């Protein structure tokens, strides 16, 4: 059963993240969107200077996402307010992973970056060997989100018994 969809002005390539009743997703229209998971209404959007093909990671009230403008962004999950960004040497198309208060993300410059949780900026630690698996995006038990072209569709799914 189709529940809702939200249309962006360009394709939605990355997988969404769902947390606390909200859907977070990037788009090739240079924006990061926060949508109401129940009805698809836009709560906020944040515009970067490049396409957003990185899937977001949501942890501790923050959204972490990469952009083709070579930056990693940290946004407030409730308001979409900018907290910090860091410019890498190239496109950030990989999806951040958050583990033990640290954010890990790769860049097309061939480096993996690790950020702590300061209020402004981040401490960059180049990592030579990296065997941490990116976390799976966990969707709420009653919804399943899919992306197609420039629309996001959400369907109910039944729990397996």
Q: Which is nearest to 98 in space by CA: 73, 146, 50, 63?
A: 63
Token readout for 54 is: 């990185």
Is the confidence at residue 135, as pLDDT, over 50?
Answer: no
pLDDT in tens, 95-115: 999 988 888 899 988 888 888
Residue 128's pLDDT band, with cuts at 50, 70 and 90, is very low
More confident of the two residues 105 and 160: 105
Sign (positive/negative) of CA torsion 124, 129, 133, 137?
positive
What's the pTM? Answer: 0.75
């Amino acid at each position: 059963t189709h529940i809702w969809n939200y249309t962006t002005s360009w394709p939605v390539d990355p997988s969404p993240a769902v947390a606390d009743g909200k859907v977070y997703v990037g788009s090739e229209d240079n924006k990061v969107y926060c949508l109401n998971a129940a009805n698809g209404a836009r709560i906020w959007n944040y515009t970067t200077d490049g396409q957003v093909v990185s899937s977001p990671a949501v942890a501790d009230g923050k959204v972490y996402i990469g952009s083709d403008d070579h930056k990693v962004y940290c946004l407030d999950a409730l308001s979409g307010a900018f907290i910090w960004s860091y410019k890498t040497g190239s496109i950030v198309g990989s999806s951040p992973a958050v583990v033990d208060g640290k954010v890990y993300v790769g860049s097309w410059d061939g480096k993996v970056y690790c950020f702590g949780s300061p209020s402004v900026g981040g401490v960059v630690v180049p990592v030579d060997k990296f065997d941490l698996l990116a976390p799976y995006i966990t969707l709420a038990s009653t919804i399943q989100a899919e992306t197609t072209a420039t629309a996001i569709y959400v369907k109910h799914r039944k729990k397996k018994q």
